[in-house]
Amino acid sequence: MSKLLVTGGAGFIGSNFIHYWLAEHPDDEICNLDILTYAGNKTSLVDIKEDPRYTFIEGDIRNPDVVNDLIKDADTIIHFAAESHVDRSILGPEAFIETNIKGTYVLLEAAREHGVHLHHVSTDEVFGALELNSKEKFTESTPYDPSSPYSASKASSDHLVRAYHETFGLPISITNCSNNFGPYQHPEKFVSRMITNLIDGDNVKIYGDGKYVRDWLYVRDHCAAIDLILQQSKVGETYLVGGMTKDVNNLEVAKMLLDYMELGEDRIEFVTDRPGHDRRYAVDWSKLNKDLGWEPEHSFKDWLHETVDWYKANEAWWRPLKEEAESTYKKTGQ
Ligand code: NAD
Ligand code: TYD
């Protein structure tokens, strides 16, 4: 039996991870440390509220007393907690510096004190942007070149995690994953915003010319990748995790959704572009495939359809979040 300390487990990927882990590892226990920002949602975990294997602690990863107390009992830390939205980092970078850099530092110090393995969940955005129409993809050796306050803060946290491994011998692992989508994603993000807008009779909002390319990873595939890495990888490794085999731009993703939801292209609305908008991300996940045999379970199209079905069936989950998400976009004209 293992005891996991999950940070940010009330967020999108963290809550999916907790559900995934308890199903796949029924003898394990999980403590979820989350401060419940706008992105943290206890209703995502309401089904396991009474599960004896699960404990929720409302607290801040920047608080060394709270963190030290919880790490004492843990075998492994899975660190998801972060400010995660690029558009919000443009409106106000400070929280990103505080949580993503200082919060990670506090966890690293506590992990060092107690000799606990820390798995750091990071992003492909640390590598900056690739050229549109190029064949190039990010690999584990691509130099860091972040463009937004969000990606710069994540890059900084990655460097700290590696430095604690090199300098202090802290057992760590890192995943840099691409854009996740799936159940329990806040309706401020691209896929979840489009689906919920369409359900509401509103349009999908496409930034700029829509020819921006993201690498889409279904959240459950991401959780399975972290599981494999924790079970089988050497300490100190970094793995990229991604989903796409060929480029699909934002406009094409919107059209795939409209097609599945049987709606017309008149529901596409072009809006103000994001400043410093990265043109293209593409992830080469062959290291993870070669070393550990990981690959996505289904195609992007199938997972996208499953995601639409989930949002249609779970309006009670996303409805309370929708108004606040759209009010943020009023400030950016998007
Ligand atoms: P999210 O914004 O949905 O959730 C973040 C969670 O962290 C929330 O529950 C929030 O309450 C919590 N949190 C924030 N500050 C905290 C603090 N000081 N102390 C404790 N908890 C705090 O994020 P997500 O989409 O689930 O992303 C999880 C991780 O994966 C992040 O580190 C993010 O950078 C990374 N990531 C996400 C994506 C994606 O597509 N969502 C892609 C690549 C990497
Ligand atoms: P997002 O989900 O915010 O993730 P990230 O910025 O971390 O990649 O955005 C994904 C892509 O979709 C990005 O190119 C911005 C674009 N986008 C839109 O065109 N319309 C929208 O309403 C949103 C939220 C994003």
What is the widest separation between alpha-carbon atoms in the chain? 58
3-state secondary structure of 83: coil
**Cα 99 to ligand 2 centroid, rounded to whole Å:** 22
Output the ligand 1 site: residues, CB below 6 A: 7-8, 10-14, 33-37, 39-40, 60-62, 80-82, 84, 99, 103, 121, 123, 154, 177, 179-180, 186
Ligand number nearest to the C-alpha of 273: 2
The CATH number for 3-184+216-245+281-297, chosen from 3.40.50.12780, 1.10.3720.10, 3.40.50.10420, 3.40.50.720, is: 3.40.50.720
- State if residue 285 touches ligand 2 by the CB under 6 angstroms criterion: no
**Mean pLDDT of all residues in 222-251:** 96
Work out whether strand 172-177 and strand 238-241 pair parallel, antiparallel, or are unpaired: parallel
**Cα 79 to ligand 1 centroid, rounded to whole Å:** 9
Q: For residues 302 and 133, give the distance between their C-alpha atoms in angstroms, rounded to a whole number.
A: 25
Ligand number nearest to the C-alpha of 281: 2
**Cα 185 to ligand 1 centroid, rounded to whole Å:** 10
Confidence band, pLDDT 50/70/90 cuts, at residue 194: very high
**Cα 311 to ligand 2 centroid, rounded to whole Å:** 18
Give catalytic status of residue 150 as yes or no: yes
Q: Is the pLDDT of residue 330 over 90?
A: no
Give catalytic status of residue 125 as yes or no: yes
Domain ranges in the chain are 3-184+216-245+281-297
- State if residue 317 touches ligand 2 by the CB under 6 angstroms criterion: no
Could you report the per-residue pLDDT of 84-131, keeping only the tens digit for each?
999 999 999 999 999 999 999 999 999 999 999 999 999 999 999 999
Q: Is the pLDDT of residue 50 over 90?
A: yes
Provide the β-strand partners of residue 58.
34
Give catalytic status of residue 38 as yes or no: no
What is the structure's pLDDT at 298?
Answer: 93
Confidence band, pLDDT 50/70/90 cuts, at residue 169: very high
How far does the chain reach from its first CA to its final CA, in angstroms? 47
3-state secondary structure of 284: coil
Active-site choice (29, 34, 60, 125):
125
Share of the chain above pLDDT 90, in %: 94
Smallest CA-to-CA distance from 17 within 165, 215, 193, 230 is with 230
- State if residue 179 touches ligand 2 by the CB under 6 angstroms criterion: yes
Active-site choice (20, 54, 105, 150):
150
From atom 20 of ligand 2, which residue's Cα is the shortest distance away? 206
Q: Is the pLDDT of residue 326 over 90?
A: no
What is the structure's pLDDT at 334?
Answer: 85
Residue type for position 128: G
DSSP, res 98: I
Q: What is the pTM of this model?
A: 0.98
Q: For residues 312 and 132, give the distance between their C-alpha atoms in angstroms, rounded to a whole number.
A: 33
Backbone angles phi, psi at 46, to 5 degrees: -60, -30
CB 125 within 8 A of CB 140: no
The CA-atom distances, in angstroms, between 127 and each of 45, 142, 278, 322, 324 are 32, 7, 10, 31, 30
